Structure 1
Amino acid sequence: MSGKELEGKVAIVTGASRGIGRAIAERFAAEGAKVVVNYFSNEAEAGKVVDGIKQGGAEAIAVRGDVSKSADVKHLVESAVKQFGHVDILVNNAGVMVTKPALEASEEDWDRTIDVNLKGAYLCSKEVAPLMMKQQGGRIINMSSNSGLYHPSAMRFTEYVVSKAGLNGLTKALALAWGPHITVNAICPGWIKTDMIADTDPEVEARILGETALGRWGTPDEIAGAAVFLASRDANFITGELLIVAGGRGMH
């Protein structure tokens, strides 16, 4: 890829106030996209993302919203269209993780994880799809996880793994339902150094790195690079795929 791959495109990135979502929003802006930075609670950090994008010469707005609530999702998409006129790219990145064994997790833990990680992606995708179909083009990128494919992870956070396995299924189902004009793909990161896993036990960290061929954590910017690829014209003929970006962990 060369030049600004996303020039003239409008992208919504959910959960973009920190971590992977923030990195994607910033990379998309650097590639010429106008970016809608969705956040749930951290207005200050979302504002910093928008300010940084604007300082770099690109356009962005921040929009609060709970992706598990249809009214919030409708407001998010309407805000994007009102500000920028259309939506070309949706990145379903918002997510939560409960790190409890299955017998210790509550019904509320289950509901919140499934609601945000799976239902949220469905609601956001369903809201942008008619717009993308009308303009005969669009990209939906779901932020899944290698945990949804690599079963030993289920020992620690069952709800999260199930939500991501479901997201993989949703990716394929929507790719079939919404072709030929909309491509739907998922990125399955391995262990990425973000706030979400900042409190990982040292023994667990050592085991994970020992299972990773490249022997290190991934970075949010490396996931952002994969998202830029799937949003670019180089991925025109790719849909329904799960792109694993995990440093070789769990190869099978």
Structure 2
Amino acid sequence: MTGPRRAPHERGAPMSERFAEPWRAALARLDDADAEGAVEAGAWALVLHAFDALEARPEVERARMREALAGALAEVEEPLATELGRAALAALNGDAPTHWPAELMRPSPRRLLKLLRGELDGFAAARVAGWLAAHPDERATLEALLEAGASARSEPLPVAAASSVRMRDPEEGQLLGALDALGLEAVLFREPAPRRLALYAAEPTAVRLEAEGVTTEEIAPGYWLGRLAPHLRGALAVKVRVGEREAAWSLRVGPREKR
């Protein structure tokens, strides 16, 4: 006699089956989604691709997602969404994505668990899956999390040695973009007021940001946090520095100003 069938999210189910439900939910969202919503849904193709599960989905599903993505990419403007959408479309076409914007830092156990449970949106899930695809040895960590019954409760992020700075959890904010050349991510925190901007570097080195209307509040190796003046809206031109390298960057910190 066989036992009860395990749901995809339960311990013991093959890893490739754990994302069947988020994939079906993404397909269901396509009918009412705008361009960015369709790309967010399509980003789940990258998650399945990372776990060698995409080709197992029925061709009718993959064809529907391909068609929706191709149309949405002609309209979406946000750079990160565009890059993830193009990578997902490549995977759906049976090609290896040439540029997959993955997370720069090792995802926390809580974030990995959220991926397994399908609790991340498509963009976040695809970026975590991209990191795992680049670090295949870490995939064993996912099963270890389930075996240990890891908790999804929030835990403080580690702080740098000899530093009293407590990093803001990037999951609590809005990812504004990644600057691959410097190994840097920017996250906007709208609450509690006033708004704050944080930079997270892939390496534990000095990070700085200079911009009009931005006041530095916290600095630690690989981390910078600053307060935004209330009048800042739309695109914010900043100069960032990581170690000895620097670059100009444009970040959208609020809605476009009404004309």
Question: TM-score, normalized by length of structure 2?
Answer: 0.29
Structure having the larger proportion of residues in strand: 2
Question: TM-score, normalized by length of structure 1?
Answer: 0.30
Structure having the larger proportion of residues in helix: 1
Q: Which has the higher contact order (CA 8 A, sep 6+)?
A: 1
